[in-house]
A and B are shown apart, each in its own frame.
Chain A
């Protein structure tokens, strides 16, 4: 990195933020991060981020949950301790399959949902008691912050950000990790 300096531009509306992000990227400035109080629809596309692959993982997790349910019910109800419930003796998995469908469904959803959340946390590097990374507490309330890498173009960038409707622009010296 040639510079430790960044510019923080604050916005108070998600639509303004979206169009600002688009014009900043058009001028070839590098946006390091955007902090928002809630997910902004279309921001990932405006930032040019790669598509999320979490849906693929969701499908795989669902398949794992489905298989676990099948194996689990087969072990519990057929192999280990067969019971005669409602005149339906547990002789084979297939014959009793309809009774296991709700469990298969629930386990599929359970695995997909929980593993997706865990994956999301891991990918976002979030864990309990982690210190918040957002530089301005207002971004947890109702403001949106764009962090842009600053090279030797402070004036030009300031003018551009004003034009895009930023309500506050500050230049920040980023603390490097050694200090």
Chain B
């Protein structure tokens, strides 16, 4: 612990590697067991419905244990991409695609979720820089550590998107020329939804975010040694500029990477909704890692008022997320336009437990736990609320992606948990490695004195 440097302990390193290995095996298992032919897929579904073990996950499965073709026909209204006159054969193929998508979707949900934490933290960091916030500089190095995951995390997401573009999976049905040929709605969107443009945009988003992150980190470290505050000022300027770039690209990213999975459906506040989700996840992660480092004896300048403020943000942004979730839900529910409302009908019918469970985890739980001012100063409460909030926002991403990718064939099984563990391990590994590279105390920050004395 000399000169305030964090040492990445072997214990934590091994823990993260074990998580990655276990998660990797889970993903491999998911890919190996996914069906190759229509017959296999149909056999798998028949087995699952007659078997015992799957009862809890499949909320709606019990209703169609007869496994008649009609029952499925209804469920597939949402994925109407196949046109209206899909015959028996198309139906089996559709099921095959859903089951083949399953491990991919598990991989993608987890990859996106952890990338989103780093991106949300980067936005929070930039806001604190641009606002010249006086309370937060004591936490800057923790935030910089978390945003260190952005580059690897976003590149992994990019690779998955590129593989989708090369037709290794059917996560994005608009990438399939066969589908587009029979679909007037998607044809009208081809100007935006085409693979080269999609990947090109993705590179611009990732490039912009990581460039800002690179320079901001550089100026932040340089400020430690500097005699004047020129680095601080530069950081202020690029942060303000980045926030403009961010709010546009984050919104477009959410259309591209999440909303286009459902190419017929759109929501005009989707960008905000995804933003709220990543923002609260990022802030929660900052709080959890700060508490962890403090428990190990680091970050001696961070006091319970800093934790209190992070708790207030967790509370406030959880409510903000709910506000956006409800705004999106209520308008669509009220207007009841078929092509819009199908989004929520699929989720309420096929994803009842995760859909409403997520509301409890992301809204009611933090609302009740974090309302009391004194509780926000107790690490135990912040950790408990934080874990539930993070799992809740994993479920949020799950609910955004799974229904269109795998339909009613979802299950939180080996590949899903494996995907989560793999990226969780990678996240811990990259983030703590990054935190260990620089002093935890940003000593040169001109606002550090205010942050050290910060008390509520």
B334 touches A99 (CB 8 A): yes
User: Is A38's CB within 8 Å of the partner chain B?
Assistant: no
Q: A55-B373, A59-B371 are in contact. Are A101 and B330 (CB under 8 A)?
A: yes
User: Is B33's CB within 8 Å of the partner chain A?
Assistant: no
Question: When the two chains form the complex, which single residue of B326, B329, B336, B372 contacts A87, counting CB atoms closer than 8 Å?
Answer: B336
Question: Hey, which chain B residues are within 8 Å of A99, CB to CB?
Answer: 330, 334
Q: Which residues of A contact B (CB under 8 A)?
A: 55, 59, 86-88, 98-99, 101-102
Q: Which residues, 278 to 337 on B, are CB-close (under 8 Å) to A?
A: 326, 329-330, 333-336
For the residues of B in contact with A, the DSSP-based class is: helix
- Which chain A residue has the least Cβ–Cβ distance from B374? A51
Question: Hey, which chain B residues are within 8 Å of A88, CB to CB?
Answer: 334, 336
Question: When the two chains form the complex, which single residue of A55, A59, A87, A98 contacts B330, counting CB atoms closer than 8 Å?
Answer: A98
Question: When the two chains form the complex, which single residue of A55, A59, A86, A101 contacts B326, counting CB atoms closer than 8 Å?
Answer: A101
Question: Hey, which chain A residues are within 8 Å of B329, CB to CB?
Answer: 98
B336 touches A86 (CB 8 A): yes
For the residues of A in contact with B, the DSSP-based class is: helix
Query: Which 8 residue pairs across A and B have the least CB separation, nearest first?
Result: A98-B330, A98-B333, A86-B334, A101-B326, A87-B336, A99-B334, A101-B330, A55-B373
Q: Which residues, 317 to 372 on B, are CB-close (under 8 Å) to A?
A: 326, 329-330, 333-336, 371-372
Total count of chain B residues near the partner, CB < 8 A: 10
User: How far apart sit A36 and B333, CA to CA, in the bound complex (Å)?
Assistant: 52
19 contacts between A and B (CB under 8 A): A55-B372, A55-B373, A59-B371, A86-B334, A86-B335, A86-B336, A87-B336, A88-B334, A88-B336, A98-B326, A98-B329, A98-B330, A98-B333, A98-B334, A99-B330, A99-B334, A101-B326, A101-B330, A102-B330
Question: Hey, which chain A residues are within 8 Å of B372, CB to CB?
Answer: 55
User: How far apart sit A59 and B333, CA to CA, in the bound complex (Å)?
Assistant: 30
Question: Hey, which chain A residues are within 8 Å of B330, CB to CB?
Answer: 98-99, 101-102
- Which chain A residue has the least Cβ–Cβ distance from B455? A42
Q: How far in angstroms is the closest Cβ of chain A from B245?
A: 34
User: How far apart sit A73 and B333, CA to CA, in the bound complex (Å)?
Assistant: 19
Q: How far in angstroms is the closest Cβ of chain B from A94?
A: 13
Q: How far in angstroms is the closest Cβ of chain B from A31?
A: 23
Question: Hey, which chain B residues are within 8 Å of A86, CB to CB?
Answer: 334-336
User: How far apart sit A98 and B322, CA to CA, in the bound complex (Å)?
Assistant: 13
**Inter-chain pairs besides A86-B334, A99-B334, A101-B326, 14 sampled, C-beta below 8 Å:** A55-B372, A59-B371, A86-B335, A86-B336, A87-B336, A88-B334, A88-B336, A98-B326, A98-B329, A98-B330, A98-B334, A99-B330, A101-B330, A102-B330
User: How far apart sit A137 and B336, CA to CA, in the bound complex (Å)?
Assistant: 62
Question: Hey, which chain A residues are within 8 Å of B336, CB to CB?
Answer: 86-88
User: How far apart sit A147 and B157, CA to CA, in the bound complex (Å)?
Assistant: 66
Q: How far in angstroms is the closest Cβ of chain A from B331?
A: 10
Q: How far in angstroms is the closest Cβ of chain A from B371?
A: 7
- Which chain A residue has the least Cβ–Cβ distance from B323? A105
User: How far apart sit A86 and B336, CA to CA, in the bound complex (Å)?
Assistant: 9
- Which chain A residue has the least Cβ–Cβ distance from B335? A86
User: How far apart sit A105 and B326, CA to CA, in the bound complex (Å)?
Assistant: 12
User: How far apart sit A55 and B372, CA to CA, in the bound complex (Å)?
Assistant: 9
Question: Hey, which chain A residues are within 8 Å of B371, CB to CB?
Answer: 59
User: How far apart sit A88 and B371, CA to CA, in the bound complex (Å)?
Assistant: 35
- Which chain B residue has the least Cβ–Cβ distance from A99? B334
Q: How far in angstroms is the closest Cβ of chain B from A10?
A: 28
Q: How far in angstroms is the closest Cβ of chain B from A163?
A: 24
Question: Hey, which chain B residues are within 8 Å of A55, CB to CB?
Answer: 372-373
User: How far apart sit A59 and B372, CA to CA, in the bound complex (Å)?
Assistant: 10
Q: How far in angstroms is the closest Cβ of chain A from B112?
A: 28
User: How far apart sit A141 and B326, CA to CA, in the bound complex (Å)?
Assistant: 46
User: How far apart sit A70 and B335, CA to CA, in the bound complex (Å)?
Assistant: 23
Q: How far in angstroms is the closest Cβ of chain B from A116?
A: 15
User: How far apart sit A88 and B336, CA to CA, in the bound complex (Å)?
Assistant: 10
Q: How far in angstroms is the closest Cβ of chain B from A77?
A: 14
Question: Hey, which chain A residues are within 8 Å of B335, CB to CB?
Answer: 86
Binary contact readout B128-158 vs A (1 if CB under 8 angstroms, 0 otherwise):
0000000000000000000000000000000
Question: Hey, which chain A residues are within 8 Å of B373, CB to CB?
Answer: 55
Q: How far in angstroms is the closest Cβ of chain B from A97?
A: 10
User: How far apart sit A101 and B372, CA to CA, in the bound complex (Å)?
Assistant: 23
Binary contact readout B170-211 vs A (1 if CB under 8 angstroms, 0 otherwise):
000000000000000000000000000000000000000000
User: How far apart sit A102 and B371, CA to CA, in the bound complex (Å)?
Assistant: 20
Question: Hey, which chain A residues are within 8 Å of B333, CB to CB?
Answer: 98
Q: How far in angstroms is the closest Cβ of chain A from B328?
A: 12
- Which chain B residue has the least Cβ–Cβ distance from A56? B372
Question: Hey, which chain B residues are within 8 Å of A102, CB to CB?
Answer: 330
